[in-house]
Chain A
Amino acid sequence: MTNKIFTKEEWTKALQGLSDSYKVFVPVKDGDFHTFKPMNATKAPDFDFQNTRLSARSLVYPQAERMFEYSLDENDPEANIIKETPKDYSPQAIVGIRPCDAHGFKIVKPNFDNKEYRDPWWIQHFESTVLVGLGCNQPCSTCFCASVGGGPFNKDVLDVLIYDLGANFMVSGLTEKGEAFLSKAQGGKAADDAAVKQAEALATEAAKKVKADVPTDKLKDKVINDLFAAPFWQDVGFACLNCGTCTYLCPTCWCFDIQDEVLGKQGDRIRNWDSCMFPLFTLHGSGHNPRDQKFQRVRQRFMHKLKYYVDKYQGGVQCSGCGRCVRYCPVNIDIRQVAELMNNY
């Protein structure tokens, strides 16, 4: 395992150099918040942030992705033949992703890559991605990664982990993919024992700060129908606006819709993120909607994350504890409280 020390300026320079071999995405301050943007010379990366407003999921699983294209022109010898739209799978690196968001990819993987189904686009995007995580020295009060199998310096899923030591970064290669990435990084020097100790101390300190008390331990033993019929869903869902903030900001929501869009004689088949908060999500062709009430949609989101996923994949909850839905739900519906209600029901 390589441990290298870079000054912060050196690290930015190294990333610029790496842009020749990878599409390098870095956190950039964009108005009031940070967002992942391709590395460029004009806007420097800014690693002084709590977390990006949106998770990095769109870099592996775009919000709108052209799957296929076709021609409707009868004179075209290939008319009405659906062809896969060429996609860009050149290597990319997400630098500065928080460990919770990386953990999110692990949580969604069983959905896109399992014995029954293999989603070729998600898998290829994921495999072409190097996850260069940035440990959290100061977890937010709304973070609960440690309650759901993660942690502020959790190395799971990451290829590289960055420790912010103040003036310097210590950068550790964790996988072959990560080592290959680091081997191309110019500058820096081998980390000495003192730096490694400092990094370890930071991780220990951060682990103490993050909330680990969101209860999910009893969820797997609950009877699905008991939770489904629990009396609290109307109350939980009263304030809900049924907007897509929670699902679109979430690193572990994966639902999509497939649409055909035609312009003239050229058609595209696109898959778009969808949200279980929207009534249209479950509207049948017949006009019937099995989830036509707000509380049913709210219940679906929590049941999926905290019960159906738990039962189906036997690997914990479908939540990485990033706290975005807690911070940005416009009406303050708090998954930590709902987890408690369900766990203790």
Chain B
Amino acid sequence: MIEYTAIIRDTAKKLLKDGKVDVFIGYKKGTVPMMNEPVVISDPEKVDTLHWDSLCGLNLCNYLTKRKDKIGIIANGCNSRNIVTHILENQISREQLYIVGIPCTGVIDHRAVLRAVGNKEVLDVQEQGDKFTVSGNGFSETFDKAKFLRTNCAVCTHRNPVIYDEMVASPVKEQEGVDPFEDVKKIEAMDPEKKWGFFTKMIERCLRCYACRNSCPLCYCPTCFVDESKPQWVGKSIDPTDTMTFHIMRAYHCAGRCTDCGACERVCPVGIPMRQFTKKLNKDALEYFSWEAGLNPDARPPLDVYKPDDYNDFVK
């Protein structure tokens, strides 16, 4: 996907020069391999900072919340679905946005790359089409990107943006025949005790740094429930009960809203696979409400709408 970089730069330059947008939000190339930094640009002469490659794995929608200006932004499938969710939840208006759509072939799992090279230090990554070469002191290896996709990208069925003003390239073929919930089904099959054990072990390393929460565009509350002090809902030590409360409550706040973009897992400094929580809720939203978040800017999400003719008695 690195070839999109030049097109993104040209598009941003034009948009800024023509005054169609005040700022343009994208990525710049990181100072260390496999890391890229979100950046906002307002000067058309500085668009050469912009960069895109298969390691841009955050969610840029996170940087849109409550902005007042006119914004150009790049968006692949999942990021665009979060933009739709942001519009539905009144965090930004469609009129403020110029969305440059990215047909996405998936983001590389940097942890899988490190494992593949025996956790040696990677000094350089070069992307060539559907392959990439990783090198460091005394080694250089070329891998197929398709085998190193992040687990959310490997089962993604919405690679193309669902909302955009222009595309940087033709849409890519959507993946078919993938089961996004294979792992969830395994956990569902466990008895309650085993399930509790699974999740307890999963989060035992958590530092409560809140990188997962803060990288998520859904988490825009002015004060998160874990930060409330009057009353204080959750303890602030690393007591496992408090940590579990944080993770489960966070996940529930994402029910029917999560696009499985994977930013939470990407940013975790200790590698917790917290999508195991949100994916179960995505599965429920799909099974109970035929709902996948952020696909349609005209449909209200199932959990923020009331219908007098709802087939469930308890809401009547």
Contacts and interface: CB of A to CB of B under 8 A. Distances in A.
Interface of A: 30-33, 50, 53-54, 63-64, 138, 140-142, 238-239, 241-245, 248-249, 257, 259, 261, 270, 272, 275, 278-280, 283, 326-334, 336-337
B290 interface: no
Contact of B32 (A32, A238, A275, A332): A332
A330 B215 contact: yes
Interface string B219-237: 0000100010100000111
A313 to B, nearest CB: 27
A243 B238 contact: no
Contacts, number: 107
B96 to A, nearest CB: 18
Interface in B123-176: 123, 137
A32 B114 contact: yes
Contacts of A241: 62, 211, 214-215, 267
Given A238-B38, A239-B38, A245-B269, A261 B211 contact: no
Interface string B28-61: 0011100111111000000000000000001000
Contacts of A261: 235, 237
Pick from B37, B137, B209, B271 the residue with the most CB of A within 10 Å. Answer: B209
Contacts of A332: 30-32, 35-37
B237 A33 contact: no
Given A239-B37, A239-B39, A332-B30, A245 B211 contact: yes
9 contacts: A32-B271, A33-B119, A50-B121, A64-B237, A239-B39, A244-B210, A326-B32, A330-B266, A331-B38
Given A63-B237, A64-B237, A243-B215, 6 more contacts: A138-B121, A241-B62, A272-B236, A275-B209, A280-B229, A332-B30
Contact of B209 (A141, A248, A280): A248
Interface in B214-261: 214-215, 223, 227, 229, 235-239
B31 A334 contact: yes
Contacts of B37: 239, 331-333
Interface residues of B, number: 41
Main secondary structure of the interface of A (DSSP, over half): loop
B178 interface: no
Main secondary structure of the interface of B (DSSP, over half): loop
Given A64-B238, A259-B236, A326-B32, A244 B215 contact: no
Interface string B262-299: 00001101110000000000000000000000000000
Contacts of A280: 227, 229
B45 to A, nearest CB: 15
Given A238-B38, A261-B237, A334-B31, A278 B137 contact: no
Pick from B207, B223, B271 the residue with the most CB of A within 10 Å. Answer: B207
Contact of A32 (B36, B111, B215, B235): B111
A230 to B, nearest CB: 18
Contacts of B239: 64
B270 A53 contact: yes
Contact of B214 (A141, A142, A243, A283): A243
B60 to A, nearest CB: 10
Nearest to A30: B205
Contacts of B227: 278-280
A243 B236 contact: no
B32 A142 contact: yes
Given A138-B137, A243-B214, A53 B35 contact: no
